[in-house]
Amino acid sequence: MSQMQFTGFLLMVLLTVKLMSLSVRSVGRDTLNHVRWLMVGCTGLLGLQFLAQMVLGLRTTGHVAQAVALNVACFIPCSAMMSLAILYLLREWRVTWLDRWIGLFAWIPALVLLYIGLSTDGHPLTAKEMQVSWPQIGSTMFFAALQLYYFIRHMYEMRQMHRALDGYFDRDAYGMLRWMRMSIILLALMALFAPVVIFSNSLPLALYGLFTLCGFFYFVDSFGLYVVSSSANRVMEADQNAKKEEEVAAEMTDKLSDDSETKQRIKHAVERWIECGGYLKSGMNMPSVASEIGIPQYQLTSWLRQQNCKYSEWMTSLRIEEAKRVIVSHPDWSNESVAEHCGFSDRTYFQKKFKEKTGMTPADYMSLHQ
């Protein structure tokens, strides 16, 4: 057990150093810097917890109740900081005061219960072989409830971010958020098993410790890769675009539904742009398409809403229709050539979307129409 605690302490130190060593230029905007320091607080506190467990030797000396109290007292603020960091990354401008302070609201009553549990029956706090009591079990419920709250918030904001990406980029951009989605799942699993596992003093606890270490390594390493890549800036662009468009588009959709003249003008402008093959260019975001069409972005957003269609899906549908035409008229073209002509960024993505839309591969479609 002491080897696991030493490994945990060493890993948390290395992760803390890695986070602090991220250059200001790499971290960039204030949000990422704020997230970085939340993660530093988390890894630093976990490192101190592993160090305390190792130095005091609570579990090896039979002080299981005290070891559990130390675990819970550290896990709740660590979980809150990591969860809040992910929430800031997802939708900074939607973070509420409850999101910021619910960790404290869960931590304080949990500490009170831990103290009650350690001081029942007249035992001193350092008593050996103390039985784990119901107040300590109750304190772990605060940990689970806290993570349940954040899990619900994370999943909601993840869906909102997917909508923002769909409304800005001309292709699926969910891959940029894959590491966040995995982090959310890992945090939820940690909270789910913690109330049971941390009372153990054997193999389940060691496996849970290993799982926790791997999870936090994944969080920090993925965040480091995220901030130095272009993904952070691209997600920020989509999020800021959604923030600007959300209120304007919602208001203008109602007005547009009553303005037949404007609706016809937008429809004709879009049709002209389609006839000119504007959608065949790769990597076109929503603002650039609206500019090419010659209408304000909010009008294109409102028009798409009336069509019950997302921007990325609309662009993909247009390109798939062109691909179907090209496959029949140019059977000698390779998939790479078809994908490039139709505005798809790569052959693999083209084949995936073609099968989703038509139910068959490009080769099958060609055979069917020969």
Mean pLDDT, residues 74-85: 93
CA distance 37 to 134: 35
More confident residue, 145 or 65: 145
Q: Say whether both 255 and 197 belong to one domain.
A: no
Beta carbons within 8 Å of 297's beta carbon, 6+ residues apart: 245, 286, 287, 290
- 127-136, 204-213, 267-276, 335-344, range with the lowest pLDDT: 127-136
Both tokens assigned to 125: 């706090």
Mean pLDDT, residues 134-138: 77
Mean pLDDT, residues 234-244: 85
pLDDT over 70 (residue 254): no
The helix-helix angle for 286-293 and 260-275 (nearest 10°) equals 100
Q: Say whether both 252 and 364 belong to one domain.
A: yes
CA distance 365 to 368: 5
Q: Say whether both 195 and 271 belong to one domain.
A: no
Mean pLDDT, residues 196-220: 83
311: containing domain: 244-368
pLDDT of 274 reads 94
Q: What CATH number is attached to the domain comprising 362?
A: 1.10.10.60
Question: In the chain, how many domains are there?
Answer: 2
> For residue 1, what pLDDT band results from cuts at 50, 70 and 90?
low
> For residue 24, what pLDDT band results from cuts at 50, 70 and 90?
low
pLDDT over 60 (residue 227): yes
Are 265 and 312 contacting, i.e. CB atoms less than 8 angstroms apart? no
> For residue 292, what pLDDT band results from cuts at 50, 70 and 90?
very high
Both tokens assigned to 269: 């402008």
> For residue 26, what pLDDT band results from cuts at 50, 70 and 90?
low
What is the rounded end-to-end Cα distance, in angstroms, of the chain? 68
Q: What CATH number is attached to the domain comprising 45?
A: 1.20.1070
From 212, 237, 262, the end of a domain falls on: 237
pLDDT over 50 (residue 288): yes
Q: Say whether both 39 and 141 belong to one domain.
A: yes
- 168-172, 189-193, 233-237, 253-257, range with the lowest pLDDT: 253-257
Q: Say whether both 38 and 113 belong to one domain.
A: yes
pLDDT of 131 reads 55
Query: Which residue, among 223, 212, 155, has the nearest Cα to 187 in the 3D structure?
Result: 212
pLDDT tens digits for 156-195? 999 999 989 998 998 888 888 899 999 999 999 988 887 7
Q: Say whether both 79 and 210 belong to one domain.
A: yes
pLDDT of 129 reads 47
Within 10 A of 197 (CB to CB), how many other CB atoms are there?
A: 19
CA distance 87 to 194: 22
